[in-house]
Structure 1
Amino acid sequence: MIAVGIIVSALLFAAVSLVLVRIVRGPTTLDRIVAVDVLLAVVVCAIAAEAAFTRDATSLPILVVLSVLGFIGSVSVARFSPRSRR
C-alpha cells in the first residue's frame, strides 16, 4: 500500500508541476484559467487519495465544495469568455 501511495504522490506532483508551467507560460488568459481549473481538479484528486489512503471520511465535505467551486468556475468562464467570429 505504501508503494501505491508513493506512485500516486509522484504522479500528482508531476501533474501539479506541468500545470504550474502552463499557468506561468500560458499564451492567453483562457489557457491560464483552464490550467487553474485543472490545478483545482488535481488538488481534489490529492485530497481524495489522502482520504482513501488514511480511510478517513472527514475531508469529503471539502471535496464536495471544491468540486462545486470548480464546476461553477468552469461554467462562468465558458459563459463570459469572448467568442471568435469565423
Structure 2
Amino acid sequence: MRAAIRPVGAADASAFTAAARASRRLHRPWVTAPCDAEAFARYLARFDGVAHHGFVVVAEGELAGAVHLTNVVMARCAAATWATSRSRVSRAAG
C-alpha cells in the first residue's frame, strides 16, 4: 500500500468530516475530530504554518488519517508536540 502525507486543506473537508463521523467510537474519549463543515473550518484556522501544522495521510488515493504538529519551537533546542489519528477505513484495511 502506498501512502503519502500532505498539508490538510479546505478541499479535504468532505472526506475528513465523513471519516471523523465514521470513526467517532474508535477515537472517543481521546480525540474529537471535526464532523461538519463549520467545525472543519475552525480546525483549519488553527494551523498557522509556523507553530501549528496539520497534515492528512492519504493511502491508495483515500484519506487514511491525520497528523498534527503543534507548539513548534525553532530555537537552540527545537521541539514540538505531535498527535495522530486514523480513520475507521484505514483501521479495517490494516
Q: TM-score range by the shorter chain?
A: under 0.3
Higher relative contact order (CA 8 A, sep 6+): 2
- The structure in which a higher percent of residues are strand is 2
TM-score, normalised to structure 1, is 0.27
TM-score, normalised to structure 2, is 0.26
Larger Rg: 1
- The structure in which a higher percent of residues are helix is 1
